[in-house]
C-alpha cells in the first residue's frame, strides 16, 4: 500500500493497530469521518495508535456510525523534536488552557503537566478534573492528527505546583518570570531534556518563584512586555524549538 501524502486524513486509533487486521471505529470518531470529512469506501487514510509510526489504510466500509478500516504496512515515520520539553503550565481559564494544550502539542512538547498555583482561578478536583483531563487528551489527539505527530504527549492529571516541584527533574529547568534578568535568548543548553514552568493569568507569587529556584528552575524573561499566559508558553516553546530543537529545520 503506498504511503499516503500528509494531506491525507489522519486518524488516531486508541487500540493497538496490526497490519492486515481490519478494525472498526464507532462513536464520535466514525461520525467525524463519515459526516464531517465524508470518507467513503476505497478512500485512503493514515492511522496511528500513539506507539510510534503510522499505517496507511483503506476505508473498507462505512455503515451508520461505524467505519471499517484495513491498515497496511507499518511506516516508522517520526517527527519528534530532539529537544524534549516538559511543559508545566499553571492552569488558566477553559479555552486558554485548551489553546495551550493544542498549540504546545503542535510545537512538539513531550509532556504537559497542568498545575494549580496560589493565584489559580481554576481548581480541578474529582469528577471535574477527570472530565477536563479526558477533554485535554482529545485535544492532544486532534492536534497530533492535524500536525502529523505519531506519538502523543501525555497530559498529567492536574496537581498542585508544590507537589510537582517535589519531583526529581533531569536536564535543564526554566521558569518564565516577568521579573527575570536573564533573557530566554541568552540561554545555553547542555542537555536535550528541558522542563519549562509557566504561570497562570495571575502569575507566580514570590514564594513560588523561590520554591522553583530551590528546585533548580532558572528564571528567564521573554522581554519587556507582559504576555498572556498562553502567549508566553507558546512563544517560549517556539523560541526553544528554534534554538535547540527542529523548528528551523526543513520538513
Ligand atoms: N502580573 C503577572 C506577573 O507579572 O507575573 C502577570 C502574569 S502573566 C499574564 C502569566 C505568566 O506568563 C507569568 O507568570 C510568566 O510565567 C509568563 N510571562 C508573561 N510575560 C512574560 C515575560 N515578559 N517574561 C517572562 N515570563 C512572562
203: left (phi over 0), alpha (psi -120 to 50) or beta: left
Report how far ligand 1's centroid is from the alpha carbon of 24 (Å). 46
> What pLDDT is stored for residue 122 in this prediction?
80
Domain residue ranges in the chain: 9-71, 84-244
> What pLDDT is stored for residue 63 in this prediction?
85
> What pLDDT is stored for residue 123 in this prediction?
87
Cell numbers given for 91: 492552569
Question: For the domain 84-244, what is the CATH code?
Answer: 3.40.1280.10
Report how far ligand 1's centroid is from the alpha carbon of 229 (Å). 6
| Residue pLDDT tens, the chain, 251 long | 433 444 789 999 999 999 999 999 999 899 989 988 899 999 999 999 999 999 999 999 998 789 999 999 999 999 999 999 999 999 998 899 999 999 999 999 999 999 999 998 888 889 999 999 999 999 999 999 999 999 999 999 999 999 999 999 999 999 999 999 999 999 999 899 999 999 999 999 999 999 999 999 999 999 999 999 999 999 999 999 999 999 998 88
Ligand 1 atom index nearest CA of 198: 16
> What pLDDT is stored for residue 3 in this prediction?
37
Residue 172 CA: distances (Å) to CA of 31, 75, 86, 168, 201: 43, 33, 10, 12, 24
Cell numbers given for 216: 533548580
Query: How wide is the angle at C-alpha 122 spanned by C-alphas 119 and 123, nearest 5°?
Result: 95
Residue 4 is inside which H or E element, if any? none
> What pLDDT is stored for residue 8 in this prediction?
87
Report how far ligand 1's centroid is from the alpha carbon of 104 (Å). 17
Q: What is the CB < 6 Å shell around ligand 1? A: 176-178, 198-199, 201, 203-204, 221-223, 225-229, 232
> What pLDDT is stored for residue 140 in this prediction?
98
The sign one gets for the Cα dihedral 18, 22, 28, 33 is: positive
Residue nearest to atom 7 of ligand 1 (CA): 203
By DSSP bridging, strand 84-90 and strand 193-198 are parallel
Architecture of domain 9-71: Beta Barrel (2.40)
Residue nearest to atom 3 of ligand 1 (CA): 203
> What pLDDT is stored for residue 121 in this prediction?
81
Give DSSP secondary structure letters for 151-212.
SPPPBPPPEEHHHHHTS---SEEEEE-TT-SSBGGG---S-SEEEEEE--TT---HHHHHHH
Residue nearest to atom 6 of ligand 1 (CA): 203
What's the rounded Cα separation, in Å, for the pair 181 and 232? 16
- What residues have CB less than 8 Å from 170, skipping those under 6 apart? 191, 193
Report how far ligand 1's centroid is from the alpha carbon of 55 (Å). 42
Cell numbers given for 113: 503537566
By DSSP bridging, strand 111-116 and strand 159-160 are parallel
Q: What is the pTM of this model?
A: 0.94
> What pLDDT is stored for residue 76 in this prediction?
97
Q: Is 64 helix (H, G, I), strand (E, B) or coil?
A: coil
Ligand 1 atom index nearest CA of 226: 20
Q: Is 12 helix (H, G, I), strand (E, B) or coil?
A: strand
Amino acid at each position: 500500500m503506498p504511503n499516503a501524502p500528509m494531506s491525507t486524513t489522519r486518524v488516531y486509533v486508541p487500540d493497538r493497530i496490526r497490519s492486515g487486521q481490519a478494525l472498526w471505529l464507532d462513536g464520535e470518531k466514525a461520525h467525524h469521518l463519515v459526516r464531517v470529512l465524508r470518507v467513503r469506501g476505497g478512500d485512503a487514510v493514515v492511522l496511528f495508535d500513539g506507539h510510534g509510526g503510522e499505517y496507511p489504510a483503506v476505508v473498507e466500509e462505512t455503515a451508520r456510525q461505524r467505519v471499517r478500516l484495513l491498515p497496511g504496512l507499518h511506516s516508522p515515520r517520526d517527527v519528534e523534536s530532539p529537544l524534549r520539553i516538559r511543559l508545566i503550565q499553571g492552569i488558566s481559564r477553559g479555552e486558554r488552557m485548551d489553546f495551550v494544550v493544542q498549540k504546545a502539542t503542535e510545537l512538539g512538547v513531550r509532556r504537559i503537566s497542568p498545575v494549580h498555583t496560589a493565584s489559580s482561578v481554576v481548581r480541578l478536583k474529582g469528577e471535574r478534573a477527570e472530565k477536563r483531563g479526558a477533554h485535554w487528551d482529545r485535544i492532544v489527539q486532534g492536534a497530533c492528527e492535524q500536525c502529523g505527530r505519531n506519538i502523543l504527549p501525555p497530559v498529567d492529571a492536574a496537581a498542585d505546583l508544590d507537589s510537582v516541584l517535589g519531583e526529581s527533574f533531569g536536564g535543564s529547568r526554566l521558569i518564565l518570570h516577568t521579573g527575570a534578568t536573564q533573557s530566554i535568548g541568552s540561554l545555553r543548553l547542555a542537555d536535550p531534556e528541558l522542563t519549562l514552568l509557566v504561570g497562570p493569568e495571575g502569575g507566580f507569587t514570590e514564594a513560588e518563584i523561590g520554591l522553583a529556584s530551590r528546585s533548580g528552575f532558572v528564571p528567564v524573561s521573554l522581554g519587556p512586555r507582559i504576555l498572556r499566559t498562553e502567549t508566553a508558553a507558546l512563544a517560549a516553546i517556539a523560541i526553544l524549538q528554534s534554538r535547540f530543537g527542529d523548528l528551523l529545520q526543513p520538513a
